[in-house]
Each structure stands twice: as structure tokens, then as C-alpha cells.
Amino acid sequence: MNAHEIDYEIFGEEMQYVELELDPQEAVIAEAGNFMMMDNGIKMDTIFGDGSKQNEGFLGKVLGAGKRLLTGESLFMTVFTNEISGKKKISFASPYPGKVIPLDLNEFGGKFICQKDAFLCAAKGVAIGVEFSRRLGRGFFGGEGFIMQKLEGDGMAFVHSGGTTAKKVLQPGEKLKVDTGCIIGFTKDVNYDIEFIGGIKNSLFGGEGLFYATLTGPGTVFVQSLPFSRLAGRILAAAPQGGGKDKGEGSILGGLGNMVSGDNRF
């Protein structure tokens, strides 16, 4: 199934959203919870799977949708279709601070592999599936386990990242070492593996985990500066513990420093 051709524009700096322009009968698919706003005349439907396997029968649809459960996603997706004449616009927003990355799958050989929670939306006809790792070490220590998400087709897809995005184009044999949580995604020819950091002091006291992700070219890699897991960990670490007292962040005086600065909670 050829993907619908859609125009788009990305707005914002650190809290971005993407606005898609749909011609009559054009449609876009999205995960639940990413919708922001849309013009009147666009119809929303919940479908089984991603709608890309219309000709494979019921069993094919079940198998395709069932794989999505392995990534922690729902069996169902949402499709938004412009059912009236004239162009209509619909917007989808990132679920946390970061960037929206447009991907023309034609430019990446029809396939892009990404973290299992990175997908935002795509033109109808793009297939959203799972990518299994055949490497035991990567499965146990790679952060994303054996399973990542894959986007296949010939249309536009959009993924989101945390913080600032870095795009690296790797030459054949060129290797990039990345924190496992900082990977957004990569093209199909990139070899993804893990590598032990090495050294007792590094392992015990380095604070960076025991393994790097290694990405070897040729291909394109997208890296994020602030994975959501890291952001959530910092928030949990700074949250009031037990009795509701915070950590007095920002002053060596702790709670006394808060009182001086105007925070007089007891």
C-alpha cells in the first residue's frame, strides 16, 4: 500500500508540535495520546493495527497488530481522515520536552528503526512494526531489549525525542558510541550492538552504566540529549520523600536556604 502524501510544518522550539495538511481523503495514523487539535471535517476512527495490511486478510492483520503488544503499545491505532473537500489541518504534539523529527522513508531505503516509544504519527500506509534483535548481549544489556520499533513504507513518518537532537551520518566502518537510552533511531544498514565500558573503577564508580551502545556505519543515526527515562529519574530523585520534605536544592543551607529565599513552607 502506497502511503498518502502529506504536507507538514513543525512549530515551537523545545515543546514542539507538527501540523499536517490533509487533502480530501488523505489520512494520518497516530498512537493514542499524541493528538493535539484538528479542523472541522476530519474524521477520527480507531482501527486494528496500523491499516497498512488491508489485503492480507484477518489473520495477517491479527499477527501484525499482535506484535505491537511486545512493544507495550495497544493493538489499536487512530486514523484521522479528511472526508470533505478542501485542505484540512491536524496537529500532533510531543509528550515531553524535545524535538519532532520528520522522516521521509524514501530517503532511508523504506525502513527506519527507532526506540519503541519514539513514534508520533505517520501518513496512512506506513507500517509500524517491531524489530527483533538477534544478538544475545544486546537483548540483555542494550536498554531496548530484543525489541525496537520499525517504520516501513514510502511516506512521511514523525518521531519525537527528548532534549536536543543530534544527527550523525556514519561512513562505512565508522563507529559511534552512545548511551543506550540516548538512541532515537537509525537507518536499516547501521549495525547496532553493545560494548562493555571496561575498567573496575569505570564500572563501579563511573555512573554511566556498564555498557555503551555501538552504532557502526554506513547509515544515519539520530541521538537525543535527554531521554525521558533520565528526566523521570531526576524528577523522582528530587521529589519529596516520605514526610513531604524536599531536598533543599539550590542552597547548601537546605531548608534554611529556602526560608531565606521566600519558601516558608513547614
User: How do residues 232-252 score in pLDDT, each as one tens digit?
Assistant: 777 777 777 665 555 555 444
Sheet holding 191-196, edge to edge: 175-178, 211-216, 191-196
Phi-psi label, residue 145: left if phi above 0, alpha if psi -120 to 50, beta otherwise? left
What CA–CA distance (Å, rounded) separates 263 from 235? Answer: 19
- What pLDDT, on the 0 to 100 scale, is given for residue 266? 43
Q: What is the DSSP letter of 128?
A: E
What CA–CA distance (Å, rounded) separates 3 from 248? Answer: 53
Where is pLDDT greater, at 233 or 172?
A: 172
* Total H helices, total E strands in the chain: 5, 19
What CA–CA distance (Å, rounded) separates 207 from 205? Answer: 6
* Number of Cβ atoms within 10 Å of the Cβ of 78: 18
When pLDDT is averaged across residues 180-203 and rounded to a whole number, the result is: 78
Where is pLDDT greater, at 255 or 119?
A: 119
Grid cell 523545545 in the structure block, residue: 14
Enter the pTM of the model: 0.77
Mean confidence (pLDDT) of the chain: 78
Residue 19: band (very low, low, confident or very high) from pLDDT cuts 50, 70, 90:
very high
Of residues 182, 170, 238, 239, the one with CA closest to residue 208: 182
Residue 83: band (very low, low, confident or very high) from pLDDT cuts 50, 70, 90:
very high
Assess contact for 101 and 166: CB atoms under 8 A.
no
Residue 74: band (very low, low, confident or very high) from pLDDT cuts 50, 70, 90:
low
Q: What is the DSSP letter of 3?
A: P
- What pLDDT, on the 0 to 100 scale, is given for residue 69? 55
Using the predicted structure, report yes or no on whether residue 100 has a pLDDT greater than 80.
Answer: yes
Using the predicted structure, report yes or no on whether residue 159 has a pLDDT greater than 70.
Answer: yes
